[in-house]
Amino acid sequence: MFDLSSIFDRLFPICRSITGPGLRESLQILGEYIPLEMHGIASGQTVLDWTVPDEWSVESARLVGPDGSVICDFAQNNLHLVNYSVPHSASISLAELQPHLHSLPHLPDAIPYVTSYYSPRWGFCLTHRQRENLPEGQYTVDIRTKLQPGEVNFATSVLPGETEKTILISSYLCHPSMANNELSGPLGLLRMYERIKAMPHRHHTYVFLLCPETIGSICYLSRFGEEIGKHLVGGMVLTCLGGHRDTLSFKMSRQDWVATPGPIDRLARTFAAQYPNRFEIREFTPISGSDERQFCSPGFNLPVIQAARTVYGQFVEYHTSADDKRFMRIEQVERAADALSEFIEVFDLHDSFLENTHPYGEPQLGRRGLYPTINSPMNRGSSSDGFTDHRTTLNRLLMMLSLADGKRGLLEIAAKIGCGADQLIPILRELQKMDMIKTVLKT
């Protein structure tokens, strides 16, 4: 498996934004691990209701105090500069400077992350402790950035399957040096790619997407939305996969919100019901979130859920320099990617039905060695509870044979039996080997 920790260390220092060289460099590094096709849409192009902005690049940015000491230096921490700051050089008083400074009184040692993509601004971000100690006097602002025609970049990768029906795994890449709310997503995507590539049967085709948030998925949809819409059976946006929380959280798609949930929404609810400590549900909302807001806009209305562990806006380190590798924890990202890959393995079967090949009367299991050949009340003395115990393998096998009528899938059968779909996989394989159950594609 990929060593996510070392990949993290390569990516973390780069100053990413929704456009520019840092974004491109990050995509290229990721492309060393999985095959990535690169795409770009030029500044000025209309993409859905938006216009691709000019590309932003930073040469240097410094704020120098009255005594000549450096207050903020982009070279030291790229969060110091308001992302998409316009170039600016000036000598101004502290009072004039203040409206351009950003700090967090409630988190006095963290540098906030501030952006102004579509409205020309300049500014510096610094710790509140530092800001409170700024002396009166003249400050030198020296921001050397460029806003010039370029493109929005994004990248895709495909793992083909038996059918054209497609599952999308997507994450975003546009925040500079942050961990949980930036790198946990792309790193989790790398690991899921590995796991899905290793699946013995891949019924579906898998598309992986890495793009800057919002404008990147809008660009992707502008170019590929119609096509992906034809084949997509389910998708998952990865975000904030690390952090302290143990439970993974699915944000449902808009389809679920408007009471027409698709199979991936239903599977997410099934997992959350089955394993309440491992998975939980957030309802869909268009108010906040990641790229699922674009995939789930009413025109596309795609069945794309979002998976997260320590959710944006729910941890105080969110969008600050405190969202670092120690906060994120690599192993939490790995655990998330593993659990989500298991989810996807079950989802890969979502449109298959199970069919008992001997459906008339009970099959005679005794001659197949699957049922006791002697019938005695002997072992029922202590308790009759085990009599219809749904937990034994034999009983689950009997229930699966009864339910496998060619009109039900693994999920419905597991729900009926009252266990997880994953727990039935070994029984299914055994019955498939004996030609007692086959899978048929829902047409």
Subset of 353-372 contacting a copy of itself (CB under 8 A): 356, 358-364, 366-367
Residue recorded with tokens 């939980």: 280
In 3-state terms, what secondary structure has residue 92? strand
With CA atoms as reference, report the closest residue to 78 among 52, 114, 46, 129: 114
**Residue 161 vs 262, nearer CB to a copy of itself:** 262
8 A C-beta contact, residue 175 and residue 136? no
Q: Does 408 bind a copy of itself (CB under 8 A)?
A: yes
Cβ burial of 287 (10 Å; 0-12, 13-18, 19+) is exposed
CB of 50 to a copy of itself, least distance (A): 5
CA 84, 86, 87, 88 torsion-angle sign:
negative
In 3-state terms, what secondary structure has residue 416? helix
Q: Give how many residues touch a copy of itself by CB under 8 A.
A: 77
Q: Does 399 bind a copy of itself (CB under 8 A)?
A: yes
Q: Does 46 bind a copy of itself (CB under 8 A)?
A: no
Cα 225 to Cα 378: distance, rounded to the nearest angstrom: 65
Q: Does 102 bind a copy of itself (CB under 8 A)?
A: yes
CB of 376 to a copy of itself, least distance (A): 4
For the beta carbon of residue 142, count every other beta carbon within 10 angstroms. 15
User: What is the pattern of x (binds a copy of itself, CB under 8 A) and - over residues 69-98?
Assistant: ------------------------------
With CA atoms as reference, report the closest residue to 183 among 40, 34, 283, 326: 326
**Residue 43 vs 301, nearer CB to a copy of itself:** 301
Q: Take residue 347 and report the two structure tokens written for it.
A: 């989802």
**Residue 256 vs 334, nearer CB to a copy of itself:** 256
Q: Which of 188, 225, 243, 420 binds a copy of itself (CB under 8 A)?
A: 225
- Determine which helix (DSSP H) or strand (DSSP E) holds 289, and give its type and residue range: none
User: What is the pattern of x (binds a copy of itself, CB under 8 A) and - over residues 270-289?
Assistant: ---------------xxxx-
Q: What amino acid is encoded at 134 in this protein?
A: L
Q: Which of 196, 305, 403, 421 binds a copy of itself (CB under 8 A)?
A: 403
Cα 268 to its chain centre, rounded Å, is 14
Cα 130 to Cα 109: distance, rounded to the nearest angstrom: 8
- Residues 238-267 contacting a copy of itself, CB under 8 A: 254, 257-258
User: What is the pattern of x (binds a copy of itself, CB under 8 A) and - over residues 194-223?
Assistant: --------------------x--xx--xx-
**Residue 95 vs 360, nearer CB to a copy of itself:** 360
Q: Which of 68, 105, 200, 369 binds a copy of itself (CB under 8 A)?
A: 105
**Residue 137 vs 286, nearer CB to a copy of itself:** 286
Q: List Cβ<8 Å contacts ≥24 apart for 128-134.
A: 128/103, 128/104, 130/71, 130/103, 131/101, 131/103, 132/108, 134/65, 134/71, 134/94
Q: Does 381 bind a copy of itself (CB under 8 A)?
A: yes
**Residue 244 vs 380, nearer CB to a copy of itself:** 380
Q: Does 388 bind a copy of itself (CB under 8 A)?
A: yes
Considering only the stretches 155-163, 184-192, 197-205, 294-302, report the one whose residues sit in contact with a copy of itself under the rule CB under 8 A. Answer: 294-302
Q: Which of 266, 319, 335, 350 binds a copy of itself (CB under 8 A)?
A: 319
**Residue 316 vs 440, nearer CB to a copy of itself:** 316
With CA atoms as reference, report the closest residue to 234 among 216, 252, 211: 252
**What is the DSSP annotation of 167-192?**
EEEEEE---SS-IIIIIHHHHHHHHH
Considering only the stretches 45-53, 162-170, 193-201, 232-240, report the one whose residues sit in contact with a copy of itself under the rule CB under 8 A. Answer: 45-53
**Residue 193 vs 250, nearer CB to a copy of itself:** 250
CB of 144 to a copy of itself, least distance (A): 21
8 A C-beta contact, residue 204 and residue 161? yes
Q: What amino acid is encoded at 290 in this protein?
A: S
Query: CA of 427: how far to CAs of 386, 393, 423, in Å?
Result: 19, 8, 8
CB of 7 to a copy of itself, least distance (A): 26
Q: Which of 19, 58, 97, 112 binds a copy of itself (CB under 8 A)?
A: 112
**Residue 113 vs 271, nearer CB to a copy of itself:** 113
- Determine which helix (DSSP H) or strand (DSSP E) holds 216, and give its type and residue range: helix 215-231
